[in-house]
Amino acid sequence: MAAENGKSIRMKRMFDETGTCLIFAGCHHMTSKTIYAGQRDVCRVVKDVIKGGATCINIGKGFVRKCMAAIQGHVAVLNYVPVYPAFSRVNPYKMVVTTTVEEALINGADGIVLPVDFYSEDAAEAMSQVAEFVRECDHYGMVFVVEAEFPSFYDKNENNIAKYGAEYLKFAGRVCSEVGVDVISTNYTGDPESFSDLVDFVKIPVLINGGTVVPQREFLKMVEIVRQAGARGCLIGRNISETDSPERTMRAIGDIFRKKISAEQAFSSLAEKGRA
């Protein structure tokens, strides 16, 4: 019962009174050899997105400690579990697990985030790993968020849709739901109808991933579409951190979800505040 209460309390820290969960992912340097200027100083961006209305921060365990002055208990914290050997000539997407659920709890995190690949030859192993993390998170009352996204997560979304199809995202999300994951984030399927069907099929809260960096107007339009299709929020990194103002961008995303304004209204507000 205590663990169940703990998970409920942590979920309420992640999802605000409107039922919205806005997660900033400041962990891209754990998985990519590309240096993203906006995430060079993760703690500064964390401070900015909290001002902009983020409900949760997803970062590596080392930066949880470094960013505590910015976090100050204002938002939920998730530990990003893996690193990838990005310069490997054999398999740059080979996941290396860096923490345990117990360690994340000790570090003050509310839960963990794990990306999954249910497409490769290691798919069965990945499913076993998800099931084990579900057991641990349930035991400790921690939230388990899975990025049930396209395996080639640094490729353009349209390329991934053409290669894997929306059916892969539906399968990955449903498997996570079936084994007991609390929340998934996923990619846009390419059209509102199939994304709405994914949300209905998965049966647990669905967040939208940011994917590759795209122009802000295009990005905000996608946010509006998935909100209308049933997404409960977002798990976004570079489409926030690589903008002129992560604070204003996070606020614009939040206004689309919380106030249900249009992407055009959010974009116009961004432009006006940028000129102020």
Kind and range of the H or E run holding 176? helix 166-179
CA pair distance 260, 276, nearest whole angstrom = 24
- Could you list the beta-strand ranges (E) of 19-80: 21-25, 56-59, 76-80
Beta bridge mates, 21 = 233
What's the pLDDT tens digit per position in 173-185?
A: 999 999 999 999 9
- Alpha-carbon dihedral of residues 203, 210, 259, 200, nearest 10 degrees? -20
Instruction: Delineate the domains of the chain, giving CATH numbers in brackets.
Output: 2-275 (3.20.20.70)
Range 63-67 average pLDDT: 92
**Which pTM does this prediction carry?**
0.95
Q: Which tens digits make up the pLDDT trace of 201-229?
A: 999 999 999 888 999 999 999 999 999 99
More confident residue, 91 or 104: 104
Say how far apart CA 17 and CA 88 lie, in whole Å. 44
Q: What is the rounded distance in angstroms from the CA atom of residue 161 to the CA atom of residue 195?
A: 12
DSSP 100: -
pLDDT tops 60 at residue 274: yes
Question: Could you say which DSSP state residue 262 is in?
Answer: -
Distance of CA 163 to the CA centre of its chain: 22
Lowest mean pLDDT among 3-7, 115-119, 128-132, 235-239: 3-7
Report whether pLDDT(3) > 80: no
Listed in sequence order, the residues at least 6 apart from 100 whose beta carbon sits closer than 8 Å to its beta carbon are 136
Q: Are 78 and 110 in contact (CB under 8 A)?
A: yes
